[in-house]
Amino acid sequence: MKVLGIETSCDETAAAIVEDGSSIISNVVASQIDIHARYGGVVPEVASRQHLLTIVPVISQAMAGVSWPDINGIAVTFGPGLAGSLLVGVNAAKAIALAKNLPLTGVNHLEAHIYANWLDSSRSGKNEPVKFPCLCLVVSGGHSDLVLMKRHGQFEKLGQTRDDAAGEAFDKAARILGLGYPGGPAIERASSSGTPCLSLPRAWLKDSHDFSFSGPKTALWHLVQQGGVSVADVAASFQLAIVDVLVTKTIEAARQSKVEQILLSGGVAANKMLTQQFLAKSPVPVLIPPPHLCTDNAAMVAACGYYHFQAGKTNGYDLDVVPSLSLG
294-323 binders of ligand KG4 (CB under 6 A): 295-296
CB closest to ligand KG4, residue no? 184
CA of residue 284 relative to chain centroid, distance: 22
Q: Which is nearer to ligand KG4, 105 or 295 (CB)?
A: 295
192-231 binders of ligand KG4 (CB under 6 A): none
Q: What is the maximal distance between C-alpha atoms in the chain?
A: 64
Give the nearest distance from C-beta 101 to ligand KG4 in angstroms.
31
| Order of strands, sheet of 134-139, starting from the edge strand that comes earlier in the sequence | 154-159, 144-151, 134-139, 261-265, 286-287
Per-residue binding string, ligand KG4, 7-46, x by CB under 6 A, is ---x------------------------------------
Give the nearest distance from C-beta 256 to ligand KG4 in angstroms.
26
Smallest Cα–Cα separation from 241: which of 207, 284, 191, 291? 191
List Cα–Cα distances, 244 to 127, 179, 278, in angstroms.
26, 22, 10
Q: Considering CB under 6 A, how many residues would be counted as binding ligand KG4?
A: 20
Give the nearest distance from C-beta 65 to Zn ion in angstroms.
26
Give the nearest distance from C-beta 212 to Zn ion in angstroms.
21
Pairing of strands 134-139, 261-265: parallel
234 Cβ contact list (under 8 Å, min separation 6): 177, 194, 198, 220, 223, 224
120-159 binders of ligand KG4 (CB under 6 A): 140-142
Give the nearest distance from C-beta 90 to ligand KG4 in angstroms.
16
DSSP assignments along 281-294, one per residue: H-SS-EE---HHHH
Report d(CA 312, CA 114) in Å as an integer. Answer: 20
Assess 184 for contact with ligand KG4 (CB under 6 A). Answer: yes
158-177 binders of ligand KG4 (CB under 6 A): 167-168, 170-171
Give the nearest distance from C-beta 237 to ligand KG4 in angstroms.
15
252 Cβ contact list (under 8 Å, min separation 6): 209
Q: For the beta carbon of residue 154, count every other beta carbon within 10 angstroms.
A: 12
Contact 75, 305 (CB under 8 A): yes
The item of ligand KG4, Zn ion, none sharing an interface with residue 250, based on CB under 5 to 8 Å by kind, is: none
Report d(CA 325, CA 328) in Å as an integer. Answer: 10
Q: Which is nearer to ligand KG4, 42 or 262 (CB)?
A: 42
DSSP assignments along 56-75, one per residue: HHHHHHHHTT--GGG--EEE
How many helices (H) and strands (E) are present in the chain, helices listed first?
A: 11, 10
What's the full length of the chain, in residues? 328
Q: Which is nearer to ligand KG4, 25 or 110 (CB)?
A: 110
Give the nearest distance from C-beta 178 to Zn ion in angstroms.
25
Give the nearest distance from C-beta 44 to ligand KG4 in angstroms.
13
Q: Which stretch binds ligand KG4 (CB under 6 A): 54-62, 182-190, 275-283, 307-315?
A: 182-190
Q: Which is nearer to ligand KG4, 37 or 95 (CB)?
A: 37
Report d(CA 33, CA 133) in Å as an integer. Answer: 36
Applying CB under 6 A, which of residues 164, 188, 233, 244 lies at the interface with ligand KG4? 188
Q: Which is nearer to Zn ion, 108 or 277 (CB)?
A: 108
What does the binding site for ligand KG4 look like in residue numbers (CB under 6 A)? 10, 140-142, 167-168, 170-171, 182-185, 188, 266-268, 270-271, 295-296
